[in-house]
Amino acid sequence: LNDNPSHYKITLSGTVKSPKISFDPPFLMLMPVPLCVKTETAINIIPKDFLRKSQIEVELPELELEDGDRIYPFSVQFPEGKDIVISSDGTNKELICHISFRSSRPVSFLGNMFFIDEEKN
């Protein structure tokens, strides 16, 4: 600066935070019901470290029955929307998700539902 040959060193440090979601409750058990009767429960989706607005999508499992038929007995609804938004204090607002199950055929299932954002995280 001003023809002065002094050297200046700048050190930067930071922490990389990856967006995450957690669930309350952390796992779901739906009660057995008669055929064609819907059972439903609500879960809270708790987003953390999302720096921009995102939207949650759900990959629902396809079940294969003993005779080879395939069914999709699960459905989800987001009564307040699927958008992850950032509050004025920098936190992310929780989302409510209603998960339901209905089947006209006898079935039991143990598996995963995948909740992903637009970037497939």
pLDDT in tens, 43-90: 999 999 888 888 999 999 999 888 888 999 999 999 999 999 888 888
Secondary-structure breakdown of the chain: helix, strand, coil percentages, each rounded to the nearest 5: 0, 35, 65
Residue type, 73: P
Q: pLDDT band for position 28 (50/70/90)? A: confident
Backbone angles phi, psi at 57, to 5 degrees: -120, 160
Sheet holding 20-24, edge to edge: 20-24, 39-48, 95-101, 74-77
pLDDT of residue 15: 83
Q: Residue 1 above 60 pLDDT? A: no
Asked whether the beta carbons of 48 and 21 are under 8 A apart, the reply is yes
What proportion of the chain, given as a percentage, has pLDDT over 70? 94
Nearest-angstrom CA–CA distance, 40 and 98? 7
Asked whether the beta carbons of 95 and 44 are under 8 A apart, the reply is yes
- Residue with the bigger pLDDT between 120 and 48: it is 48
Backbone angles phi, psi at 73, to 5 degrees: -85, -10
H-assigned helices in 11-79: none
Nearest-angstrom CA–CA distance, 47 and 95? 8
Domain residue spans of the chain:
40-116
